Amino acid sequence: MSTTYLATEASNLAVEASGFFLENVWIIPAIMAASFVVILGFGKRMPRGGSEVGIAAVAVCFVLALLTAGQWIGQVNEAAACTPETCDYIVDEHHDAEADADEHHDEEGAFQVDTGVGSSDGESASALTAFTEAEEGSTAAAAKAVVSERTWWSNGGINFTVGTMVDGLTVTLLVVVTLVSLLVHIYSTDYVAGDRRFTHYFGFLSLFTAAMLFFVTSANVLQMIVGWELVGVCSFALIGHWWEEQPNSDAALKAFLTNRVGDIGLLIGMIVLFFASDEKWGIIEINAGAIEGTTSHTLLLIASLCLLAAVMSKSGQFFLHTWLPDAMAGPTPVSALIHAATMVVAGVYLIARLYGVFFHGLSIGGSSINALAVIGAVTTLVGASLAFVQDDIKKVLAYSTISQLGYMTLALGVGAWTAAVFHLTTHALFKACLFLGAGSVSHAVHSFDMKKDMGGMRKFMPTTYKTFLIGSIALAGLPPLAGFWSKDEILAGTGGWGFFEGESHANGAYTIMLVMGMITAAMTAAYMTRVMYLTFFGEFRGGHHDDAHHGDPHESGPRILWPLRILAGLAVVAGLMNLPKGFLGLPSGWTLRFEHYVEPLAATGYFPKISHADPSWSLAIFSTLVVASAVGVAYYYYFVRVNAQSPSATELVNGPTERSRLLKAGHTMLKNRYYLDHIYDGGEPVGAAGANAMGTIFGAAAGLTLGFSLDNGLNQPFWPSVMWGVILGLTIFTIVTAALRTGMGIASVVKQPMANAANWVHENVIDAAVDEVGKNSVKTADALYKYIDQGVIDGSVNAAGRGSQGAGGELRRWSTGKVQQYATVMFAGATLLAGLLIIVI
C-alpha cells in the first residue's frame, strides 16, 4: 500500500506526489544487493571476475535514479503550477475527523491536493482560502514526499513498518551515490586489476552501494539504523581489504570501533525520539511532532545531542575524526567512494533528514551559537590545519574531507539546509575527482608520498594533472567552479555578514561561524596550492623503488581517465544548479533550481520553516579575494621561493618553523595531529608545558561551547550556563593533561582495566561455569554408566540370558530322544490344561 501523509498550513497547500519510480524506489537498492549475492556466488567463474555484474547493476541503478529524479522534478513543477483553474478540488461538506478531502488530479492520478485531514469544515475552508491566495502570487502548493510502506510485524499494539520515502533530498542522494559508485566501479577494473581478492572487492563494493541506497530511501528510523550499520560493516571490509598487512587491519578496526562509540549515541537518540514521539518510528511523524511542538523540547535536545555524537563518528567531526585519515589504508577507489558519496556523508544526511528535530531541539532559528554549528566550525579549522602538514596525498584529501564535512555540519547548524545539501552534492563530484586523481598518480609512481616520490608529474600525466587542477580549484572555492557557489551559499547562510552589511534574513547572526568558515576557505586554497606544487611541479623525485619501477611514470589508461574527465566536467558546471536569485538578471526559472526541487517546504508538515539569506555580492567578492590571497601567498612560498632554492626541493631549508619557536611548536602539534591519538591511545609522554597548553585549549573550547550553547542557543540562565561550562572545561583539562603527561591514553586507561575485568569474568565465571558443567557431566555419565547401564540395563539383559540358559539346560536334560518320556510330559500337560479349563469354566 502507499501511505499518504497529508497536512496543510494557513499559507500554503501540500500536493502528494506519486509515480511508478517514486513508489517503487526500493528496486534500486535491491538491484545492488542482488549484485552482491551474484558476484560472491558466481563471480570467480565469470570472465571478468564479477566486475561486469557490479558495473551493469550500478549502471541500471543510475538510470533508475535519473528517472526517479526526473519524475520528482515533474511533480514539483506540476505542484508549483497548481491553481484553481488547473487543479480541480473537492470539499466534502459532510466529512468528519477521519475524512480527508483529496483531489486526484489528471487521468493518471499524478498527484493529490491536500485540503485538510482530520479537520473541521472551517479548516477545509481555510485551506481553500489559502489555495485561492496562493493563486495571487505565492507558490500554490508544495510537493510532499512519496511514502510507500508495508507492516512488517506488530508488537504491543505498535506496527513496525518497512518502506521507502522519496523527496528531493532522497533523489539527490540517489543520483550522487549511483553516479560516483558507477565511476568508481569502472575505475576499479583497472586500478585493482590482478588483485588477490578482485571478486571479493567488487562484491563488497556493490553491498556498500546497496547499504547507502537503502539508508537514504528509508521511511523510518529503524531502517536508517540498519542502513547506517550496514554502511559501517562494508567500510570495515573494504578499508581492511588488504588485511594481511597489519596497518590495514588496524585502520579497519579503528574505523569500526570509533563508529561504534558514536553508534551508542545513535541508538539512545533514536530510542528517545521513539518515546518522545508517542511511540512512532516514522521520519515524517517524528519531524512533524518536533515542528508542531507536541514533542518535549528537553527530549528533542537530548535526542539531538545523542544523534550528534553519532554524526561526529560517522562523518568525521572533531573530536571523533581520527579514524578517517587512517582509513586511507584501503584501495583508493574505496577512499573516493567513502569520502565523496557514501559513508562519511551519512551523518550529514541524518541531520538533514531529521532536521525538524535538530532545528527545534538545538534552537537553531534566531540564535548565534549552538552545539551543531560549533562542532562543524571547529571541524573545518581542524581538518584544514592538519591537511597542511601531510606528505601523503591521500591523507591531505582525507583531512580536506573532514574540513568540508565540517562545512556541511556548520551550514546545518546555522539553518542553511539547502546550502549544506548543495555543498554535499558539489563536494561529492570534485572530491571524487581528486581522490581518483591521486590514485592515478600513485598508480604511476607506486607511492602516495608527494615529497619523496612525486614532483613534475604534469609532464608525464597531462590529463590527470588537468582534472586534478579543476578539482583543486573547485575545492578552493574559486569562481565559477562548483565549490564557489556552494561555499558562498554557506557563508551567506550564517547571517554573519549582516553584521557588516545589514539585515540578511538568515536564521540567525552566526558571525563567529562566518569568520571561522572564511579562515577555512583561505586555508583550503593554501594547502591545495601546496599539493599542486609537490605533486605536479618541480622535478620528479621518484623512480627509486626497485628495478621493476625504475624509469619515468606514464599516463593512466582510459578506464581511469574517463571517470576523471566526467567528474572534472561536472565540477565545472554543477554550481549552476543553484544560481542566486536575480543573478545577472536571469529569470526565476534559471535560478535557485536546486533549492526549488530539493528543499522540502514547511507546508509538507515534516520540514521546519526556515529563512534564506539574501545573496550578497560584497560577501562573494570578499571571500573570493580571501581565497585568491591565500593562493597567492602559497604560490609565492612554493612556486617562487622553494622552487628558486631547488626544483627538487619541497620546503625551505631555513623556513619559518625553523626561525620561530612558536611556529615550530605549532608545527609539532600539527604533526602530532593535536595529540588526539596520544590522548586516546597513549604514546610518548608530553612535557608539562605542552600538556597544559593542550589541556587548556581543549578545556576552554569545550567549556565555552557548552556555556554559550546553554546561555544563547537554549535560552538557559547565564550564571548556571557559566558554571556548567567551567565544570566541563576543568574536567576536560584534567583528563587531557593527565593523558599527555603520563603517556597513557584514555583508551589505554579504560582498555586495560576492562581487559582485566573481561579476562577475570572469562576465567572465573564463563570458564568456571563451563568447567563445572563438564565436571558434573562426567559425574552424571559415571553414575549413569555404573547404576543404570551396568546395574539395570546390563543386569536385566544378563538375568534374562541366565534364565534362558537355565531353561535351555533343563530342556536339554529332557531332550533324551525317548518316546515314552515325551508321551508322559504331553499327558501331564494335557491333564494340567484340562484342570484349568474345568476350574475356569
Q: Cβ(221)–Cβ(281) under 8 Å?
A: yes
Task: Tell me whether residue 764 is in a domain.
Answer: yes
Query: Which residue segment(s) compose the domain that 502 sits in?
Result: 370-542+552-578+616-626
Cell readout for 838 is 474345568
* pLDDT over threshold 50, residue 126: no
Q: Are residues 705 and 832 in the same domain?
A: no
> Which tens digits make up the pLDDT trace of 295-325?
998 899 899 999 999 999 999 998 889 999 9
- Of 5-14, 544-553, 644-653, the one with minimum mean pLDDT is 5-14
The yes-or-no verdict on residue 521 having pLDDT over 90 is yes
**Statement to judge: residues 728 and 757 lie in one domain:** yes
Cell 605549532, located at residue: 666
Q: How confident is the model at residue 188 (pLDDT cuts 50, 70, 90)?
A: very high
Residue at a domain's end among 753, 771, 789: 771
What pLDDT, in 10s, does the model give residues 631-689? 999 999 999 999 999 888 888 888 888 888 888 888 888 888 888 888 887 778 888 88
DSSP result, 646-704: -TT-SS-TT-HHHH-HHHHHHHHHHHTGGGHHHHHH--SPPPHHHHHHHHHHHHHHHHH
**Res. 90: pLDDT tops 70:** no
186 residue type, one letter: I
Per-residue pLDDT, 691: 83
List, for residues 324-376, the tens digit of each pLDDT value: 999 888 899 999 998 888 889 999 999 999 999 999 998 898 888 888 999 99
CA distances from 432 to 341, 467, 721 (A): 8, 11, 43
Q: Is residue 809 part of a domain?
A: yes
Residue 160 belongs to what H/E stretch?
Answer: strand 158-166
Hey, is 112 helix, strand or coil?
strand
- Long-range contacts for 674-677 (Cβ within 8 Å, ≥24 apart)? 674/382, 674/386, 675/740, 676/319, 676/322, 677/322, 677/745
Q: Are residues 779 and 748 in the same domain?
A: no
- Which pLDDT score, from 0 to 100, does residue 5 have? 34
Report the pLDDT value the prediction gives residue 131, as an integer from 0 to 100: 36
Distance between CA atoms of residues 744 and 726, nearest Å:
25
Local confidence band at 1 (pLDDT 50, 70, 90 cut-offs):
very low
Does 563 share its domain with 682? no
Q: Lowest-pLDDT range, 116-120, 221-225, 272-276, 380-384?
A: 116-120
More confident residue, 453 or 760: 453
Clarify whether residues 532 and 415 are in a common domain.
Answer: yes
pLDDT confidence of residue 806: 66
Residues 6+ apart with CB under 8 A from 199: 39, 40, 43, 44, 49, 50
Using pLDDT thresholds of 50, 70 and 90, give the confidence band for residue 11.
very low
Q: Does 816 lie in the same domain as 678?
A: no
Domain identity same for 831 and 698: no
Q: Which pLDDT belongs to residue 56? A: 96
One domain, residues 422 and 502: yes
d(CA 467, CA 647): 23
Smallest Cα–Cα separation from 294: which of 79, 605, 67, 698? 605
Q: Which long-range CB contacts under 8 A does 52-58 form with residues at least 24 apart? A: 53/202, 53/206, 54/185, 54/202, 54/203, 54/205, 54/206, 55/182, 55/185, 55/186, 55/189, 57/31, 57/32, 57/206, 58/32, 58/178, 58/181, 58/182, 58/185, 58/206, 58/209
- What is the pTM assigned to this prediction? 0.83
Residue 26's pLDDT is 95
CA distance 50 to 294: 51
Residue 751 within any structural domain of the chain: yes
379 located within any domain: yes
Q: Cβ neighbours of residue 614 under 8 Å, at least 6 residues apart?
A: 492, 504, 505
Confidence of residue 813 (pLDDT cuts 50, 70, 90): low
Task: Give domain status of residue 120, yes or no.
Answer: no
In a domain, 290, yes or no: no
Kindly report, residue by residue over 737-790, the tens digit of the pLDDT: 888 888 877 766 666 677 777 778 877 888 888 888 888 888 887 777 777 777
* pLDDT exceeds 90 at position 583: no
Report residue 119 CA to chain centroid gap.
39
**Residue 815 pLDDT > 90:** no
Last residue of a domain, one of 731, 750, 771: 771
What is d(CA 237, CA 208) in angstroms, rounded to the nearest whole number? 10
Question: Residues 811, 719: one domain?
Answer: no
**Residue 550 vs residue 741, higher pLDDT:** 741
58, 64, 179, 417 from 175: Cα distances, Å: 11, 9, 6, 19
Say what the pLDDT of residue 633 is: 96
Tell me which DSSP letter residue 551 carries: S
- Number of domains the chain contains: 3
User: What span, in angstroms and rounded, lies between the C-alpha atoms of 37 and 58?
Assistant: 14
pLDDT band of 564, cuts 50, 70, 90: very high
Among candidate residues 5, 11, 7, 2, the one with its CA nearest the CA of residue 115: 7
**Cβ atoms within 10 A of the Cβ of 66, count?**
16
Q: What pLDDT score was predicted for residue 821?
A: 67
Cell numbers 586507561 correspond to what residue? 749
Same domain, 380 and 522: yes
**Radius of gyration (C-alpha) of the chain in whole angstroms:** 35
Residues 688, 780, single domain; the answer is: no
Angle at 127 between CA 122 and CA 133, to 5 degrees: 125
Which residue type sits at 472?
A: S
First to last CA, the chain: 81
Q: pLDDT value at position 129?
A: 35
- Is the same domain home to 566 and 681? no
Question: Which residue's entry shows cell 566486475?
Answer: 51
Q: Sorting pLDDT into bands at 50, 70 and 90, what band is 820? A: low
Domain boundary among 738, 771, 804: 771
Q: Is residue 793 part of a domain?
A: yes
Q: Does residue 386 lie in a domain region? A: yes
pLDDT band (50, 70, 90) for residue 12: low
Pick the more confident residue, 803 or 260.
260
